[in-house]
Structure 1
Amino acid sequence: MGGCVGKNGGGDDSDDKIDFKGGNVHVITSKENWDEKISEANRDGKIVVANFSASWCGPCRVITPAYVELSEKYPSLMFLIIDVDELMDFSSSWDIRATPTFFFLKDGKQLDKLVGANRPELEKKIVSFADGLAQHVN
């Protein structure tokens, strides 16, 4: 389901920003910022859901409200978003071939990956990881 491969946007980028108001999504703006959040998640025993996205990508825009909603519903996970255009070198180190691409990480290691704006599959994976964490706590 829906994924963008190359920049097809045009015109003025000023209104291309995706809105995360009200969510529990951390916008990653640098490699240092990423490292801080990964350290924080490791310290707190949280699984990280990292969304590699692009402001010009239609499917990314479509999945964002669901991503924000899931971030509020599952505070036991840490939700990050990385703009592949703003952090090109960092994104390419993750071998991103299409947006959105979601990585699920624990202790900095990849547990799972989802490519494309497939809400039911994204939700299923998030619920599975959140439930897994809840079982470890109980």
Structure 2
Amino acid sequence: MGHCMTKYVNDEDDPNHKIEFASGNVHLITTKESWEEKVSEASRDGKIVVANFSASWCGPCRMMAPLYCELSEKYPSLMFLTVDVDELTEFSSSWDIKATPTFFFLRDGQQLDKLVGANKPELQKKIIAITDLAT
């Protein structure tokens, strides 16, 4: 698929630069239907879903995007989704998102775990633990 960014670039460096939130094996969710389709696909394939609720304007979200992309390539046994809370406001509210980024870990649509905030070591730790559950 695509390649991950290796460097975080902020808007002051390049106002035209856009962080890629859906590269690697990350699927960008733009409708409630695409969410349901991907969650069903993951259940059918026996995959655990890692869902990243973020926003394009959110600095911590932008900082996490390259790592999230790398993790999606490193752990193909998981399904990585990104939901832009501004694009799907009502849907995000139904997940009670209070801060971005918020990561959910789901099996068969049910929440296994959750991480709020841009904590790279904790995200990696939770993904390793979830991967162990999946095998």
Query: Which of the five TM-score ranges fits, normalised by the shorter chain?
Result: 0.7 to 0.9
Counterpart for residue 81 of structure 1: 82
Structure 2 segments unaligned to the other structure (5+ residues):
1-14
Distance 2:18 2:42 in 1: 26
**Per-residue deviation, 1:81:** 0.1
Superposition misfits of 4+ residues, deviation over 2 angstroms? 14-18
Counterpart for residue 105 of structure 1: 106
TM-score (norm. length: structure 2): 0.85
Quick check: 1:16–1:56 contact (8 Å CA) kept in 2?
no
**Per-residue deviation, 1:17:** 4.4
Q: What amino acid is aligned across from residue 86 of structure 2 in structure 1?
A: D
Counterpart for residue 91 of structure 1: 92
Relative contact order (alpha carbons < 8 A, sep ≥ 6): 1 or 2 greater? Answer: 1
Structure number with the higher helix fraction is: 1
Residue 112 (structure 2) pairs with residue 132 (structure 1)? no
CA displacement, residues 72-109 of structure 1 (integer Å, 9 cap, x when unaligned):
00000000000000000000000000000000000000
Counterpart for residue 115 of structure 1: 116
Q: What amino acid is aligned across from residue 18 of structure 1 in structure 2?
A: I
Structure 1 segments unaligned to the other structure (5+ residues):
1-13
Q: What is the root-mean-square deviation in Å for CA atoms of aligned residues?
A: 1.5
**Per-residue deviation, 1:21:** 6.4
Counterpart for residue 51 of structure 1: 52
TM-score (norm. length: structure 1): 0.83
Distance 1:101 1:45 in 2: 23
Identity of aligned residues (%): 73
Quick check: 1:16–1:55 contact (8 Å CA) kept in 2?
no
Q: Secondary structure at the match of 1:110?
A: strand
- Matched residue pairs, number? 121
Quick check: 1:27–1:81 contact (8 Å CA) kept in 2?
yes
CA displacement, residues 59-84 of structure 1 (integer Å, 9 cap, x when unaligned):
00001000000000000000000000
Distance 1:85 1:67 in 2: 19
